Chain A
């Protein structure tokens, strides 16, 4: 009995999600015409409970013969993702209230999150693959949630096709590794990893499969279209939660399982990070659609994360995780404001933000601070995140990469400033009315702002992440 309890306790993040989903299903069956507002409120309160449970004292351990492992950094990552989902839910309350199938929306969202949790905790390649699929397929359904819009279905189609493509590559890599090593267990693979051609082949294919999901150039082409077509909550989920989970897994795989091949992957990361930053920036410069702009900017941010990961394991990992937290707050705030404005003006273009500083100062300043954080300007947390990533990358001693990355920060600033300019320095012909944001949005916005400002100064957070280590 105690053993069963122990199992549940180790699996608590996953169990909590499953519980919420079951409760939702039962409530939906017993539904007698409850309003969307009720559902959103109920689910938000469940998500809050979920967040709190996540921070209960930690226990590490291995389950099911090494298939599933619970470790400190993984649990920390899951908690971050949990809070991110709660924030997304709060930010997009308005959209959700008008959504036709709100329960189904959450069911899909949470099952995708469940997949990510299992992916983070996976101890062998099979669970890793299954979890990855579980995390991807629901998102494709979510991307289609603006039923009336053509581009929403287009986004879903693109996402499912490109994901299938990436998964098949990944699966091929997994079979190569299995063929070369005779095992799918991460621990054993770590030990037997070597430079044999088959191993390298397997590594490269898995690497490609993952960076596809991270939308690293040259596998980034799906990103902008999918971001643009999906409803905003799904876009935020894709850009923040999905990427964040992938970064955790990616760092873990590289430092741990493929640690023996560090020379090969340093080489790959070195060039990929450079073209990713540059391509993301150059395309972002020309965008007028805010979602597309932020999509390309998120590609650039991934480039920075790659720079950090290319550094030594302790520093690279802690700076990458730290940056994910920073990025989560900044991106949710920025997208949240876009959602509010788009809801009112019906446009997601940069021009829709004109004169926002006059009509809605709170929204404008929230957006500005979020953008400064994305651009890496102090005193926002983005500054610290960027510097730590670059510092981790500089540890390898290659100055060129750092020069390239820091010059890219200027290009990035140019398009963030375009948005700032539209909000603060331009007037629109049609004055935007005062937007009533609603309580939940304001709460979320204040949390994000506090996160953006305070995360940067909190030295303890970085220390804490560093102490969590790589885990098992």
Chain B
């Protein structure tokens, strides 16, 4: 399988979009591109399962091309289980995102162009095995978000777009320092950005201690590490629906993936050293996010703050450094990606019809739009971790992994994070209750219509992902387990003294 196709498909779609004028055609082309991506990702998944069965190498479908020969920068790509899972997630969210933005009329061409470009950046990031190209794709994904929020957003969109772009650029500036630092310690003779060769080297501990925070916090900004989470609520709530889905579903995962794949994988000794700090910060994010959500009236703000809380579990899992917890972190990334995308889609559909997202003004919507209401409830239940849905599997795995660390600090962190689920239940149930149940608050609501075909399709797609992960977690678990094992081997090398 040629992994480059993952980038070529979206870019080709972008290129075709440039030359199309008619709005309807533009949408169809964007949709076609997204479907193609999903088909290719599923093929990749199947092929990967076949290949991995009789292959012992860590990365599959590798290819390595020289890019800047004098600087020893290569375009090195390849996938393992985690990347395949992330690529699948991206494909699901992209298709759903294109579907829910069927009604965009303002600058349609630019909208779908940016949306598709964003997905190209995400795919590129997940398949990169060279820190340079990884960083390149990470930054490719920033500016489309700025424009998507700033041009098509709502509310204080310009402020939010600015805040998001500057904070994410700040994160990537830290990442840049980190990878430049690693470059010069990659080995005694040959400098390079190659992820795999960097991971096998013993980088001196004093250097690790300097560069690990740059990389972890830098990527952490993308995944809303406390106290750099402030772009999340503003950015998510001002963005148009599809952009919110992309932000929460894909973009925040870039950060988690980077924390795991780059920071922790390359510098495990430093990860051990900084593990208590990571755990403390992520516990704060989990609790703070949960309590902040309770105070929100705006549905989008609610989901954004709960994203901070849920992404805290990703970082908690990584910070705990046990096999189960890291597995859980990856599962949580996928679960959260699907779940928030679905949630934002449902909120977007409600907003589009009722023209308000304020919990107090909404009410009784389940009667007028049963489908959207059901989607909303399911996403909410997934968010609070109901067994049978993906949230339960992911969070449970994180907790099991965390409990394996007997130290006092880790125990306290685990217990506190578990307790946050209660808070989650409170805000989710309250939101569902007041928006969907009860009498119809506003007479104009009674004439609202239910979901259209595109919205149905998008919701079912994401829901299918959630159900698969929830009912048959082994499908994903088998996929990511070998990959997380590889990362674990690196992490354990310190205790084995290799």
Stretch binding the partner chain, chosen from B46-54, B65-73, B242-250, B468-476? B65-73
Q: A315-B71, A379-B140, A399-B210 are in contact. List 8 more A-B contacts (CB 8 A).
A: A388-B71, A407-B170, A410-B170, A410-B173, A459-B73, A462-B68, A462-B70, A463-B68
Say yes or no: A378 contacts B139, CB within 8 Å: yes
CA A420 to CA B147, docked complex, whole Å: 9
Interface 1/0 per residue, B132-166 and A, CB below 8 Å:
10011101101100110011000001100110011
Say yes or no: A425 contacts B158, CB within 8 Å: yes
Interface 1/0 per residue, B156-200 and A, CB below 8 Å:
011001100110011001101100110110000000000000000
Interface SS majority for chain B: helix
Say yes or no: A399 contacts B181, CB within 8 Å: yes
Can you spell out 10 A-B residue pairs with CB atoms less than 8 angstroms apart? A383-B139, A387-B132, A394-B180, A394-B183, A399-B177, A402-B180, A410-B173, A414-B166, A425-B151, A463-B69
Say yes or no: B68 contacts A377, CB within 8 Å: no
CA A91 to CA B463, docked complex, whole Å: 53
CA A318 to CA B68, docked complex, whole Å: 12
Say yes or no: A394 contacts B169, CB within 8 Å: no
Which residues, 368 to 419 on A, are CB-close (under 8 Å) to B?
A: 372, 377-379, 383, 387-388, 390-391, 394-395, 397, 399, 402-403, 406-407, 409-410, 413-414, 417
CA A239 to CA B128, docked complex, whole Å: 37
Residues of A within 8 A of B177 (CB): 399, 402-403, 406
Residues of A within 8 A of B143 (CB): 372, 377
CA A399 to CA B173, docked complex, whole Å: 13
Residues of B within 8 A of A315 (CB): 70-71
4 closest A-B pairs (Cβ-Cβ)? Answer: A406-B173, A459-B68, A394-B180, A466-B70
Say yes or no: A391 contacts B69, CB within 8 Å: no
Residues of A within 8 A of B68 (CB): 459, 462-463
CA A445 to CA B151, docked complex, whole Å: 24
Partner of B146, one of A397, A403, A417: A417
Residues of A within 8 A of B (CB): 315, 318, 357, 372, 377-379, 383, 387-388, 390-391, 394-395, 397, 399, 402-403, 406-407, 409-410, 413-414, 417, 420-421, 424-425, 459, 462-463, 466
Residues of B within 8 A of A (CB): 66-71, 73, 107, 132, 135-137, 139-140, 142-143, 146-147, 150-151, 157-158, 161-162, 165-166, 169-170, 173-174, 176-177, 180-181, 183-184, 210
Contact flag A394-B181 (CB < 8 Å), given A399-B210, A459-B66, A463-B68: yes
Residues of B within 8 A of A394 (CB): 180-181, 183-184
Say yes or no: A459 contacts B184, CB within 8 Å: no
CA A12 to CA B275, docked complex, whole Å: 64
Say yes or no: A383 contacts B71, CB within 8 Å: no
Partner of A414, one of B135, B137, B162, B174: B162
Say yes or no: B151 contacts A424, CB within 8 Å: yes
Residues of A within 8 A of B210 (CB): 399
CA A377 to CA B136, docked complex, whole Å: 9
Say yes or no: A383 contacts B136, CB within 8 Å: yes
CA A390 to CA B180, docked complex, whole Å: 8
Most buried by B among A378, A399, A403, A414: A378
CA A414 to CA B166, docked complex, whole Å: 7
Say yes or no: B139 contacts A425, CB within 8 Å: no
Distance in angstroms from B157 CB to nearest chain A CB is: 7
Say yes or no: A421 contacts B162, CB within 8 Å: yes
CA A131 to CA B67, docked complex, whole Å: 38
Residues of A within 8 A of B67 (CB): 459
CA A390 to CA B175, docked complex, whole Å: 13
Residues of B within 8 A of A403 (CB): 177
Say yes or no: B173 contacts A462, CB within 8 Å: no
CA A462 to CA B70, docked complex, whole Å: 7
Say yes or no: A318 contacts B162, CB within 8 Å: no
Distance in angstroms from B198 CB to nearest chain A CB is: 16
Residues of B within 8 A of A357 (CB): 107
Q: Which residue from chain A places its CB closest to the CB of B67 in the assembled complex?
A: A459
CA A97 to CA B396, docked complex, whole Å: 73
CA A377 to CA B20, docked complex, whole Å: 26
Distance in angstroms from B398 CB to nearest chain A CB is: 32
Most buried by B among A372, A402, A410, A414: A410
Contact flag A425-B71 (CB < 8 Å), given A377-B143, A387-B176: no
Distance in angstroms from B340 CB to nearest chain A CB is: 26
CA A318 to CA B181, docked complex, whole Å: 20
Say yes or no: B69 contacts A459, CB within 8 Å: yes
CA A372 to CA B174, docked complex, whole Å: 19
Contact flag A413-B166 (CB < 8 Å), given A377-B139, A379-B136, A399-B210: yes
CA A262 to CA B160, docked complex, whole Å: 46
CA A406 to CA B173, docked complex, whole Å: 5
Say yes or no: A424 contacts B136, CB within 8 Å: no
Say yes or no: A410 contacts B70, CB within 8 Å: no
Distance in angstroms from A447 CB to nearest chain B CB is: 18
Partner of B165, one of A383, A388, A402, A413: A413
Residues of B within 8 A of A390 (CB): 176, 180
CA A406 to CA B215, docked complex, whole Å: 13
CA A383 to CA B142, docked complex, whole Å: 13
Say yes or no: B165 contacts A417, CB within 8 Å: yes
Residues of B within 8 A of A417 (CB): 146, 162, 165-166
CA A424 to CA B147, docked complex, whole Å: 8
Residues of B within 8 A of A377 (CB): 139, 142-143
Partner of A378, one of B73, B136, B162, B165: B136
Q: Which residue from chain B places its CB closest to the CB of A377 in the assembled complex?
A: B143
Partner of A421, one of B150, B166, B180: B150
Residues of B within 8 A of A397 (CB): 184
Say yes or no: B158 contacts A421, CB within 8 Å: yes
Say yes or no: B136 contacts A410, CB within 8 Å: no
Most buried by B among A407, A420, A466: A420
CA A420 to CA B142, docked complex, whole Å: 14
CA A394 to CA B137, docked complex, whole Å: 22
CA A387 to CA B136, docked complex, whole Å: 10
Partner of A395, one of B150, B166, B184: B184
CA A318 to CA B147, docked complex, whole Å: 33
Say yes or no: B70 contacts A463, CB within 8 Å: yes
Residues of B within 8 A of A407 (CB): 170, 173
Distance in angstroms from B363 CB to nearest chain A CB is: 34
Say yes or no: A410 contacts B169, CB within 8 Å: yes
Residues of A within 8 A of B162 (CB): 414, 417, 421
